Structure 1
Amino acid sequence: MDLPSDLKHLFLAWLEEERVKAEKFSTHLASVYSRGVDNIRASQTVFQHPKQLGSVQGVGPKTVALISARLSKYCDENGYKTVEESVKASEDKARDAAGNEEEAENPTNSKKRKPRKSDGNAMKKKTKKQYVPAKRSGGYAILITLHSFDRRRSGMTKSEIISEAAQFCESSFDPNPATGQFYSAWQSMKTLLNKELVVSNGRPARFSLTEEGSQIAETLCLEDTPKRLLKDVAPPFPILQELEVPDRPFTVWNSGDFSVVLLLDNREIKSKDNRGFFGNTLQRMGVTNETRALSIGDAVWIAKHNETGKEAILDFILERKRLDDLLMSIRDGRFLEQKSRLSRTGIDHVYYLIEEQSSRDVSFMGDSLQTAISATITNSKFHVKRTADAEETAHFLRDLTGLIVEYYKDKSLAVMQLQNLNSQSEYARRLEFHRSRLAEDTKCAHSFETLQVILSKSDMATVGEMFIRMLMAIKGVSLDKAVVIQRRYGTPLKLVDEYERYTGDGRKMLLDEFKGEVGNKKIGPVLSDKIWQVWGGV
């Protein structure tokens, strides 16, 4: 009796059984089997032989051998022909039929047929050589790091891998174009992904070993100097105390394990001629600070772990606006968009600092300014601070830093490392869920890398958010108008399709569509024509 034509359902059932068994003694093996189940289920391949599983990402030779053994046992117990027997019978039948046909056509050549491969004269198959990275290469360092530091097999981010892998590699993980060094050891990650020794999941990307990658990494560890690995890789007491519940996506830093540092955006300057004013002034005041490119905000406060140097963003962020810039952002709609982005950070304490020194006459927008400030305090629940000039702003940053240091003096931190995020709003929701379950003396902190990726202007934006930004690039389209258009049409493609279907004058389509809107949401004939010029001719 022959087996079914597609064995996928059997392979999935057996691998799921193995996953359940593995959970009792090896969380890593269980996660490998779990990935295998997901990838096999998603595959469109018709599986007729266990060897086909080798083409599925995350399924290694050991898993293939395991499924092969289960299939042989299944055939014996249920009276099925094994896959090999079925294939051999089909090949022999086809070969004999071809041979008989050849003999019938040319009997004299029947004795000259080449011997079958099954007669023992078959050529040996060329075995595929296993890829093993060279010692102290980038690939070697990455495999060693993932095997040694990713103990929960939940994956590591790029920055986490680089911070630990540098000690195992002779090349730098950071390219330096200034010295002509364009290669970085991190480029080896592409090879490891292509060889299916490492898999990447989620956003921000987290990298973990496959079954085959884990085997190679284990071999590399055993071949290396045991004493060095014991000393450098596997300290007897982990520096970071991780909570015992594996499903909780955060790590706890105890009070006293970290220092508070003020981080300034490198675009935050007093003037073109005095770019380092804030950093230098605060340093003279005794405030520890660093300057970097921030994805949002002009100043944030981070916790830096005293032992590992790892960083987490604390629950305080500050946005600084000069008065003239604030007024312009109110006029062009940037003000509401910036407030929205600050709200989506999930950070509890947001400071909106308005620096009033300005050479421009801004009296013509006094009412708009007061309305914007009132809405910021009332609706957004931001802390609004007004200063006279950059010097007063620096003093305020000094005082606020002192208060923040005091606030965290006796508190522990739960550093969030949320994975598989699809949008900024999802990040804020999941963050609030975990924050509500923390102890009173434990405060939420944000993984620096995760927050930078999530809150960058485009990396995690939805199609709707990107559509709004595209519309606002047209002069005259404020945030209110862009939101109205996006809610009506959803995506750029639907707007283009609507223009194509519209039987009247396309220049007036939006004018007619939104004629019932009032105030800032109303679209006039000139703006309707402008939008048509951009989107109507696509």
Structure 2
Amino acid sequence: MPTSEPVRLGRKRALPACPNPLFLRWLTELRDEAKEKGLKTQYTYQKAINSLNKYPLPLRNAKEAKILQNFGDGICKILDEKLQRHYRENGEQQMKETSEGKKKKKKKREYVPQRRSGGYAVLLTLYRQSQIPGSKGFMFKLELQTEAQPLCDKSFAVPDLGSKYTAWSSVSTLIQKNLLIKTHTPARYSLTEEGLALAERLAAAEQETKVCSGGDEGEEEEAEIRVEDVCYLEPTKLYSVWTLLRPLGSLRPSICMNHITALQLNMFIVCLFHVMSACCSRSHHRKQELVKELQRNGVNFDVRKLNVGDFLWVAREKVTPVPGQLRLPAGRELVLDYIIERKRMDDLCGSIIDGRFREQKFRLKRCGLRRPIYLVEECGTAASHLSLPEATLQQAIINTQVIDGFFVKRVQDVRESAAYLTVMTRFLNKLYQNRTLTCRSRELEGDVSADEEERGIPSSSLISFAEFNHGALKNKCQTVREVFARQLMQISGLSGDKAAAILEHYSTPHSLMSAYDRCTSEAEKEKLLSTIRYGKLKRNVGPALSRTVYQLYCTPGPLS
């Protein structure tokens, strides 16, 4: 007699409920209906039911079920139709409750940034700014970073060692939590109602902390500052990770006018590479060659983004290490009056064709630095194979020197460019040695007269690097006068000097149109701008350009 199997005693494991009860119910109904009719599709539905029972996750729609075995387009289409009908009859919320079961909803914790963190500093800074009578109600990125830096332990500009995040990274979290609003271009940051309420609580807690500690923050001593070095800059976003830049967050407007005494001046060159050049292997190779040449010449360099120009120099404040801090305090930086735009012949040709040539010269003139330099790499016989004749390129270079007033330096290759930058760095080191430098606003004039400027005496009143770079933004908000100037410069033959001369008489299109309305005849309107003098030679704009401008603004048809 065969031995019977031993009976297994114990509690049976409860089978988990199917997380997709509606799909399971509909498939069961389809299977039973096919079984009653004697259709073979009953076996297909049974296989789909088995697959669905094994799947542990909820499905939001039938399309997601296609990943399961035995779920084809036909079954998914039927389930989708049933699902849409169920939504129309019962609503989507009931479906969610059925599929997810009765789960306890956890109460969300309110987001409160940690004290001395980036989000904390940003909220507190915007709140304090909003409490100032007559405040504009928003802050730009640069001024927000500048004002918030003293309230934060991390830098808003430079990530900590081994990290890619700065204190500014927390701004995205504030926007996601609906505490901060980012609008316009360039970006404007302001508090929402929720953010204002949270910032008000943070400010009250900060005040209580100060009262409890009993410590009054004493006024900062405005001592003389030593300039550590003069820096040379060329722009890029490529490898700002390896640059040992000090954070710019401690540039405070309240102490911006401190005197900076250059007792010890060491040259420190900062090279910045164009972002677009990374796409071209040849351009990238030339940049690497420039870096190697500067290193070979004993020139230190750094990487930073410039909004205008390719190279410039800054005088940096010498700072002393603070015990217990990993990084040095931020040193303030003043931009020297020299800026370089570097052009290869092929790049010059391309910029003339697409219009960048005139625009770049216009922006260089308005950047606030008095001594723009055009560095032209002629590259041997390469100019003979370009889209424009070589004579046209040479004429453009001469016009840049004679008409626009730029200093033009011609070199043959990258090695000579590096040599020129090295010589310029050493020259500026000697020129600014033992000079007292002060910081001025970009809108104010310097302290050097025209006679002293001709004799080569440098200005001691300079712009801060942060203000210079912010003011050179390409797509920043422009005044009507600036837009009018750019409109005029789109006319062929109307240079920046001619546009500036016209703006002295008619600063807006409205004033020009009013002047045309006061004219008594068509001939007088066409010659209205012809006698305006421009440039150093005080030449007339001429009747041809005057007629073109009149037709552009007053004639509905095509220009003649």
Greater radius of gyration (CA): 2
Pick the structure with more helix per residue: 1
